[in-house]
Structure formats: structure tokens, C-alpha cells
């Protein structure tokens, strides 16, 4: 893109940012990235982050009717310019799902349709990675009556209309059986032509539950206690996948900042406690590099973290139009809700940058993807500028909600046409309304329609109401339990 004259920028009050990237920034964003262990070449530095599509069958099946909705959706994202495309959660066990309509891959029954999914993305020069996962204890009560986890520690109900059943502690034999499921799912996806997989070790799901000392209290076997033991589930999954797939099949891991503490100003333990927990995250990252993991995606949060205000103090991701910007002096209870990027976003514009920087300093070859809060093109480019004096590096930018409103945002940025993503309308429900808007737009794209972002068009969009039905089932179950 650097040799052509960019299209005049679409400067608009409905977009984030005020300036288009410089030619040097465009060159950085469009630069191919070679992954260190598989040798895969990603055509640019944009990663379409994982987003639950909720488009499979009610039992996780992936029939032709479901494929017919995945194809236009993923065609839109891949044609839009993302170099690496991550799927939503692909479950390794159809009896244990994060959401009712997650795709489940346990065996080769859907191999032909999985091949079409991969080819849909790859024909645009993008790489397709399946994010594979097991929810552990974090599966809604109406889906799983008897969830499992490293330890029998229940999920704190983060929303009054959602509920989770208390999990049963896994036996050692069951743990090894689930590891085998991750390996089998990866083998099938390799056979289907996927470029790789990303292990979901974040957001409070099963792998995250093993890593986290607050959810893993095992003392009687090799999967609990020390950091090495808590990481064993993850490392054995990676080792197992390596044994059944060739070197060219790429493995990434999504790691969670919350599992290793979070940055706080003041509070119990202070900065020293957080530093200790972040050091554990660094050690896990180094373990993964030693096993040949191509990239680590840095993310954060879990269902419980929303309840404790992990993100901006109100359970809203920084950079969301529903985020709050505290403009008052210390001790003043007044906050001002703004539609512009908050001060912390202006400084770094990525929720988990401190975590990412700490890890990147320790890694020699494994690449870092940073996902969360990017809304301006200039900040995306700035994040990729290595700090050679400190040894930090971010190698790709992960985009989620922004490409639900505008799947071709990477192409628009690389053409020099826009300053950043489209602003979502401000809504009274905060982050969960953002999720509603994005989920509805995923359904619109799956039905061959364009996304919408205005409140008026959202109000008459059948696709958005259809998406909300998934959450309505969760709420109905909660109400039934209250009155039973």
C-alpha cells in the first residue's frame, strides 16, 4: 500500500481517530509476518479475533444448513483484509459447550464441511485458525447440569439472570481423556486444511481454570499445586498435538492476564503482588515457546471479572462507547460518560498492554498478538513499533467488535481511507449491549446482509432479536430456578 496514493480519508464524527496512518505506519501494518516454528506466513498484521458465532446446531452439530451461514460470514471477514482469522469457540466435547450453538468437533463426521470453511478464508490469502476450547465450570446451567473443573469451586454468578451449576472435580483419568479430546480435535482440523489452532487458555474456561490457583486447588496429582503442575494440562495438550500433526500445522495460545493477577493502583498486596503473578505468566509463556508455540494472544477477563469491574471499573472494556471516563478529582464520586476514547485508551489503546509487554521481553521467537480496545488506526500501528531498548514487541493487532460493524476495516485502514473503527451507538446496557449489537451483526453477515450500527436500524433488525434469543434461554432458566 505504501507505493500508491491513499484514498482521501473518511473523516467522520462516527469514527474513532482524527488522522489516517502515515505511509510508514501503513507499511508496518501491511508487512507479512513469518511464524517461527510452523513457517506460516501471515500476509499482514491484522488478526480477526475470536468471536462466538452461535450459528451451529443446538447440539453443536455443523450440518449443511449451518455451513451455509458460516461461509458468507467468514468470506466477509477474510475478504475484508484480516491476515489471520480466528474462529469462535470450537468445542472439543459437544456435551460441554460455552454457548448452545457453538461448533463442536469431536471426530471426522463434519470433515467435508470443515474443509469448505477453511477454503472460504484461504481463497482470500488469509490463514484460518480454529480457537478450540472446553468450558469446564463456565457453562450455563441450562446447557450442562453437571459441569467439571480442576476443583469443585463454583462460578460466582456475574449477572442476576445467569446461573452456573457447581462443578464436579475431575479425576486424573478424566483430565487425560479431555487432553486426548483436544488432540483429536486438532488432528481433525489439520485434516480439514485449517492452518492451525489456538488453544483457549483464557477467559475463565477449562485451561484457564487449571492455570489459575484460585480455581485449581488440586493437591493429590500432577495437575495442581506448583505452577509447573497447573500448566501441565496446557503443556500436555500442546505436546499431544505436536505428535499427531506436522510441523507446518501451527499452534497458538490465548493467555489470560486475570489468571496471573491484574494491575491495581493501591489495594491489598499492591504492585509487588501483581508483579509476582505476572512473573508466573511470563514463565508459562516461556514454557510454551519451548514447546514450539507460534504465537501467544494476550487477552483477559472471565465471567467473574465482569462482576468485579476488571476492565474500566464498571465492567466495560476501555474504548467501548459505553466506557466511563473518570474526569473528577480523586474522591469525587461523579463520573462522566463519554463517546470518545478514554485517557487510558489514548495512552495505550489496548486493555492488556502491560501484560503483553512483560511477556514479550522474555520471548525470543514466539510472536505476540494483542487483542482488546484497538479503535484507531494510529494506535494499531504504534503498538507494532518495537521498543528495542526494553526488548518489547507486539507482532499483530487483534480486532473483534470493530470488524463486526465493519468487516473490511483492515482493507480500509491499509488503503489510507479511514482513521479508525466506526463508533457503536451509546446504549443504556453498556458492554452487554455492545455484545448484542455485534452478535446481531454476525447474524446479519451470515445471512448475506451488511452490518448496521445505528440504533434505528438495530431496532428493526430481526437478526439482532434472533441473537438475543440465545441469552433469553439463559435468563428463562435462571427465573425458573428462582421460583422452583
Catalytic residues: 205
* C-alpha to C-alpha distance for 205 and 202, rounded to whole angstroms: 6
* C-alpha to C-alpha distance for 142 and 470, rounded to whole angstroms: 11
Please check whether residue 284 is in contact with residue 310, taking contact to mean a CB–CB distance below 8 angstroms: no
| Axis crossing angle, helix 431-446 with helix 64-79, rounded to the nearest 10 | 110
Residues ≥6 apart with Cβ < 8 Å to 274: 261, 262, 263, 264
Give the containing element (helix H, strand E) for 28: helix 23-30
Please check whether residue 200 is in contact with residue 131, taking contact to mean a CB–CB distance below 8 angstroms: yes
> At 174, is the secondary structure helix, strand, or coil?
helix
Strand intervals (E) in 327-471? 336-337, 367-371, 396-399
Q: Cell triple for residue 378?
A: 494510529
- Strands 367-371 and 336-337 turn out to be unpaired
Please check whether residue 317 is in contact with residue 166, taking contact to mean a CB–CB distance below 8 angstroms: no
* C-alpha to C-alpha distance for 158 and 295, rounded to whole angstroms: 31
* C-alpha to C-alpha distance for 50 and 269, rounded to whole angstroms: 33
Please give the C-alpha separations between residue 357 and each of 257, 348, 406, in angstroms, as whole numbers.
12, 11, 28
Amino acid at each position: 500500500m505504501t507505493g500508491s496514493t491513499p484514498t482521501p480519508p473518511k473523516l467522520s464524527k462516527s469514527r474513532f481517530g482524527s488522522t489516517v496512518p502515515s505511509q510508514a505506519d501503513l507499511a508496518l501494518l501491511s508487512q507479512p509476518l513469518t511464524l517461527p516454528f510452523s513457517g506460516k506466513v501471515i500476509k499482514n498484521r491484522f488478526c480477526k479475533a475470536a468471536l462466538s458465532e452461535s450459528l451451529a446446531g443446538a447440539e453443536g452439530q455443523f450440518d449443511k444448513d449451518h455451513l451455509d451461514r458460516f461461509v458468507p460470514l467468514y468470506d466477509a471477514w477474510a475478504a475484508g483484509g484480516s491476515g489471520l482469522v480466528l474462529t469462535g469457540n470450537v468445542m472439543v466435547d459437544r456435551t460441554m459447550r460455552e454457548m448452545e450453538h457453538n461448533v463442536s468437533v469431536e471426530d471426522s463426521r463434519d470433515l467435508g464441511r470443515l474443509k469448505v470453511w477453511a477454503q472460504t478464508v484461504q481463497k482470500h490469502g488469509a490463514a484460518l485458525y480454529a480457537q478450540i476450547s472446553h468450558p469446564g465450570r463456565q457453562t450455563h446451567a441450562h446447557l450442562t447440569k453437571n459441569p467439571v473443573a480442576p476443583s469443585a469451586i463454583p462460578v460466582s454468578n456475574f449477572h442476576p439472570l445467569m446461573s452456573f451449576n457447581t462443578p464436579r472435580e475431575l479425576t486424573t483419568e478424566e483430565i487425560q481423556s479431555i487432553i486426548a479430546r483436544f488432540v483429536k480435535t486438532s488432528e481433525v482440523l489439520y485434516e480439514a486444511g485449517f492452518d492451525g489452532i489456538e488453544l483457549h487458555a483464557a477467559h475463565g474456561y477449562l485451561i484457564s481454570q487449571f492455570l489459575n490457583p484460585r480455581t485449581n486447588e488440586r493437591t493429590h496429582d500432577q495437575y495442581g499445586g506448583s505452577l509447573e503442575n497447573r500448566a501441565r494440562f496446557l503443556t500436555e495438550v500442546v505436546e499431544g498435538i505436536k505428535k499427531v500433526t506436522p510441523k507446518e500445522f501451527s499452534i497458538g495460545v490465548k493467555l489470560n492476564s486475570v489468571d496471573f493477577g491484574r494491575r491495581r493502583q493501591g489495594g491489598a498486596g499492591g504492585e509487588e503482588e501483581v508483579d509476582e503473578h505476572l512473573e508466573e505468566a511470563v514463565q508459562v509463556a516461556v514454557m510454551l515457546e519451548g514447546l514450539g508455540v507460534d504465537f501467544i494472544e494476550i487477552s483477559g477477563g472471565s465471567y467473574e471479572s465482569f462482576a468485579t469491574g476488571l476492565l474500566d471499573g464498571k465492567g466495560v472494556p476501555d474504548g467501548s462507547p459505553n466506557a466511563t471516563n473518570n474526569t473528577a478529582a480523586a474522591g469525587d464520586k461523579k463520573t462522566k460518560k463519554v463517546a470518545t476514547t478514554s485517557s487510558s485508551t489514548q495512552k495505550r489503546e489496548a486493555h492488556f498492554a502491560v501484560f503483553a509487554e512483560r511477556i514479550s521481553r522474555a520471548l525470543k521467537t514466539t510472536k505476540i498478538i494483542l487483542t482488546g480496545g484497538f479503535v484507531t488506526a494510529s494506535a494499531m500501528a504504534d503498538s507494532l513499533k518495537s521498543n528495542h531498548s526494553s526488548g518489547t514487541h507486539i507482532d499483530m493487532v487483534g480486532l473483534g467488535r470493530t470488524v463486526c460493524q465493519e468487516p473490511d476495516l483492515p482493507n480500509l485502514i491499509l488503503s489510507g481511507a479511514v482513521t479508525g473503527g466506526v463508533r457503536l451507538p451509546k446504549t443504556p446496557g453498556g458492554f452487554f449491549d455492545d455484545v448484542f449489537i455485534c452478535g446481531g451483526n454476525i447474524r446479519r453477515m451470515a445471512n448475506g446482509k451488511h452490518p448496521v450500527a445505528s440504533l434505528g436500524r438495530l431496532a428493526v433488525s430481526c437478526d439482532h432479536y434472533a441473537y438475543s434469543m440465545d441469552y433469553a434461554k439463559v435468563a428463562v432458566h435462571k427465573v425458573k430456578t428462582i421460583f422452583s
